[in-house]
Homo-oligomer: A and B are copies of this chain.
Amino acid sequence: MTNLKQVDAYLETHLQESLTELGDLCAQPSVAAQAWGMEETAQTVAQMLQKRGFAVEIKETGGFPVVLAERQGRGDKTLLFYNHYDVQPVEPLDLWDSPPFEPEQRDGKMYARGVSDDKGHFVSRLFAIDALLKQNEELPCNVKFILEGEEEIGSIHLPDFVKAHTEELAADACVWEFGGVDYRGVPMQYLGLRGICYVELSVETANSDVHSGLGGSIFPNAAWRLVWALNALKDEDERIRIPGFYDPIIPPTERDKELLAALPPVAEEYKERYGLDHFLKGLTGGLELRTAAVFEPTCTICGLTSGYQGKGSKTVLPAKASAKVDFRLVPEQTPSEVVQQLRAHLDAEGFSDVEIEFLGGGPAGRTDPDDPFVELVVDTAKEVYGIPMELDPMGGGSGPNHAFVHYLNLPVVTAGIGHPGSNAHAPNENIRLDLYLKGAQHIARILTAFGEE
């Protein structure tokens, strides 16, 4: 049996060692969008698992490789951890207070690109395993890891990979790549993720940019074509104009609404954190805001680019324009259907000149809030955080959890080190050291309870 006091003591004593290991991993860039450092980081991650006695394989996917690892434990049960070793791009670089690939601790935090999303989560799990292995030669249960390198670019190859490796990935439950506390410090259990369909729209109207005095009245302008095509996608009232887009949607259940209603208000926190003066669609807070935030699909322009973007004026008529557009999907929307609907809609609206490149995605995935493994994770959290974990039936973000839910038939839970100010996907990404420690303590308890229950 596991002595959790000794586990906690180990974790408290060895915190800086683990952070050093995390720092080394964060110092290694692994920006999937820019194909930067991916193979090297997969190797590093594999070695970190091998060091803990895991049998490790680096598997080709057609994109960046997947790292699979397995270590037998005392019981029959198998817990699968899903993590990713890729990180978001670092731009805009000038907004970082310390270089993104030079991890730095200050004010009880550690800053680096990927330190929270998702390298910190991965290393905190290894840290928990170290503490358990210090006590016993064997872990309380069988443990598997799957780490992918394409999470930040839409997990392009992962669903097919999972589908093709159901035997290697067979398990009884899955712990997701993230987790953490909300702005009150309450540990949250996120039981679902929206799907995503990420596309780049581009249009080209001439073989080169033209002097705007020559062509302004008579030549097609790529930037205008793009603006009008985007305008055709969503109204100013936020209604997405693509025919059929809303048709497959299953509304939230009564149980979903009950769970959402029990969650604390977020309106003031969001307004203050992001400097907002209002929310969309007339929302002001409460259950309506909570519901809209996660149970409604989106059409988000993530980037726009065309023509001259420097200082001052340049009188040019752009030949090319493009936009990055991210659709967040709710059950039962699928990315392939959205791309088809988008193509048909652009064509119908006269924008067959606008090309669509699919940059990745997958449908939404959800876990039953009343699954016994959810209960185990919630109960073990209380010892660590001193307060009960609260259930959020659906997160706003995306990830390939649908493959784990539907192909592997696993309950998927969140347990991790995150906090609302972690700046994931933004400059000055960070973790709080106290939550890093708590996250490892929680993981050690999950493994123990799961193996010994």
Chain A residues engaging chain B, CB cutoff 8 angstroms = 32-35, 88-89, 91, 95, 152-154, 194, 196, 198, 200, 205-221, 223-224, 226-228, 230-231, 234, 236, 270, 274-276, 278-281, 283, 289, 292-294, 296-298, 300-319, 321, 323-324, 326, 328, 350, 359-360, 395-398, 424-427
Q: Which residue among A35, A198, A217 has the maximum number of chain B CB atoms within 10 Å of its CB?
A: A217
B226 & A236 in contact (Cβ 8 Å cutoff): no
| Nearest B residue to A235, CB-CB | B228
- Integer count of this chain's copies in the complex: 2
| CA gap between A396 and B215 in the complex, in Å | 8
Q: Say yes or no: A300-B216 contact (C-beta < 8 A), given A196-B315, A207-B275, A324-B314.
A: yes
A397 & B308 in contact (Cβ 8 Å cutoff): no
A206 & B276 in contact (Cβ 8 Å cutoff): yes
| Nearest B residue to A231, CB-CB | B231
Q: Say yes or no: A312-B227 contact (C-beta < 8 A), given A217-B280, A280-B218, A307-B324.
A: no
Q: Which residue among A207, A281, A297, A427 has the maximum number of chain B CB atoms within 10 Å of its CB?
A: A207
A206 & B275 in contact (Cβ 8 Å cutoff): yes
| Nearest B residue to A213, CB-CB | B397
The list of the 6 closest CB pairs from A to B, nearest first, reads A33-B312, A213-B397, A207-B275, A216-B298, A223-B301, A303-B307
Chain B residues with CB under 8 Å of A298's CB are 212, 216-217
Chain B residues with CB under 8 Å of A305's CB are 304-306, 309
Least distance between A152 CB and chain B CB atoms (Å): 8
| CA gap between A296 and B219 in the complex, in Å | 13
Least distance between A87 CB and chain B CB atoms (Å): 11
| CA gap between A152 and B274 in the complex, in Å | 38
| Nearest B residue to A32, CB-CB | B312
Least distance between A93 CB and chain B CB atoms (Å): 11
Chain B residues with CB under 8 Å of A318's CB are 301-304
| CA gap between A130 and B370 in the complex, in Å | 93
Q: Say yes or no: A302-B274 contact (C-beta < 8 A), given A214-B397, A424-B211, A425-B211.
A: no
- Listed A/B pairs (16) with beta-carbon separation below 8 Å: A34-B312, A154-B313, A206-B276, A211-B424, A213-B328, A213-B397, A214-B397, A216-B328, A217-B296, A218-B270, A218-B293, A221-B300, A223-B304, A226-B304, A303-B307, A315-B326
Selected from B34, B218, B297, the residue in CB contact (under 8 A) with A279 is B218
Chain B residues with CB under 8 Å of A300's CB are 212, 216, 221, 224, 315, 317
| Nearest B residue to A222, CB-CB | B301
Q: Say yes or no: A280-B220 contact (C-beta < 8 A), given A303-B316, A304-B306, A328-B213.
A: yes
B211 & A397 in contact (Cβ 8 Å cutoff): yes
A274 & B208 in contact (Cβ 8 Å cutoff): yes
A314 & B211 in contact (Cβ 8 Å cutoff): no
A308 & B208 in contact (Cβ 8 Å cutoff): no
Least distance between A348 CB and chain B CB atoms (Å): 14
Chain B residues with CB under 8 Å of A227's CB are 227, 230-231, 301, 304
B231 & A228 in contact (Cβ 8 Å cutoff): yes
A236 & B350 in contact (Cβ 8 Å cutoff): yes
| CA gap between A314 and B395 in the complex, in Å | 18
Least distance between A420 CB and chain B CB atoms (Å): 9
B303 & A33 in contact (Cβ 8 Å cutoff): no
Chain B residues with CB under 8 Å of A427's CB are 208
Chain B residues with CB under 8 Å of A328's CB are 212-213, 216-217
Least distance between A362 CB and chain B CB atoms (Å): 13
B425 & A217 in contact (Cβ 8 Å cutoff): no
A-B contacts besides A221-B300, A302-B317, 11 pairs, CB < 8 Å: A154-B313, A196-B315, A211-B397, A212-B300, A216-B298, A217-B292, A218-B280, A220-B279, A274-B319, A303-B309, A315-B398
